[in-house]
Chains A and B, each alone.
Chain A
Amino acid sequence: DTGVSQDPRHKITKRGQNVTFRCDPISEHNRLYWYRQTLGQGPEFLTYFQNEAQLEKSRLLSDRFSAERPKGSFSTLEIQRTEQGDSAMYLCASSLGRALGDTQYFGPGTRLTVL
């Protein structure tokens, strides 16, 4: 088991550009979560998937954000028309989705800088 992986690890972009991040969860984990973390704060929930179904989106996820998890495996998070306020660490986590003792394992994150 290689853990949760994310790509790229760092992304620098100019305001107005589109960016896409990828997350590969731990195999056999059917739940996948996206969080955003800004400097000095804890991660904040953005959205999550049960297999390929996106079950919840936070109010933080504006219309410029879209996430997919085709075939219930890897997931992508796209931000369109990036703004400086989108600069943050984007974290992906996966879990088995158990009713009791469900543990989320985090990836290393993608650090986005919008100039």
Chain B
Amino acid sequence: QKEVEQDPGPLSVPEGAIVSLNCTYSNSAFQYFMWYRQYSRKGPELLMYTYSSGNKEDGRFTAQVDKSSKYISLFIRDSQPSDSATYLCAMSGGLEYGNKLVFGAGTILRVKS
């Protein structure tokens, strides 16, 4: 079993829809949680960074962390065709673990105009 599980999709939604992306994890040492967006043949771009359980909002994006359930989510409101990309969840145990990131497989999102 992988440390981080993420449904690869693809997830196809109409423009304007609310998108929900999720990851589960098994390692209790993970303390920092991130969402990256990756366009085809490009490097990952950081979208959201959260520490501990709770919600964090940034524009149309909301990141949610539930450490008791080992479950994280990313919500995208008013989705746009330009949001079409692969969304990667990532997590780390912090500096004592080298801050190295463990990624999910990524969810392919397609927003149709």
Residue numbers of A with Cβ under 8 A of B are 4, 6, 31, 33, 35, 40-45, 48, 55-56, 89, 91, 93, 95, 97-109, 111
How far is A74 from B26 in the complex, measured between Cα atoms in Å? 34
Stretch at the interface among B14-22, B59-67, B70-78, B91-99: B91-99
Closest 10 CB pairs of A and B: A42-B103, A106-B43, A45-B100, A108-B43, A99-B95, A106-B44, A109-B43, A102-B99, A42-B88, A43-B103
Which of A98, A103, A105, A108 touches B42 (beta carbons < 8 Å)?
A108
| Centre residue among B43, B51, B88, B95 by max chain A CB count within 10 A | B43
Question: Distance (Å) between the CB of B40 and the closest chain A CB?
Answer: 11
Residue pair A100, B51 in contact (C-beta under 8 Å): yes
Binding site for A on B (CB under 8 A): 4, 6, 8, 32, 34, 36, 41-46, 49, 51, 88, 90, 94-95, 98-106
A59 and B105 CA atoms in complex are apart in Å by 19
Residues of B within 8 A of A109 (CB): 41-43
In the complex with contacts A40-B8, A42-B90, A105-B46 CB distance below 8 A: yes
- Using a Cβ cutoff of 8 Å, how many contacts connect chains A and B? 68
> A108 vs B69: C-alpha distance in the bound complex, in angstroms?
34
In the bound complex, what is the Cα–Cα distance between A43 and B91 (angstroms)? 12
Minimum Cβ distance to chain A for residue B89 (Å):
8
Residues from chain B with Cβ under 8 Å of A93 in the complex = 101
> Does B43 lie within 8 Å of A91, measured CB to CB?
yes
Give complex CA distance A91, B90 in Å. Answer: 15
Q: In the complex, are the beta carbons of B44 and A101 less than 8 A apart?
A: no
For the complex, what is the distance from the CA of A33 to the CA of B36, rounded to whole Å?
A: 16
The answer on a CB contact under 8 Å between B101 and A102 is no
Distance A93 CA – B106 CA, assembled complex (angstroms): 18
Give A111's nearest chain B residue, CB to CB. B41
Given A99-B94, A100-B51, A103-B49, check contact A45 B101 (CB 8 Å): yes
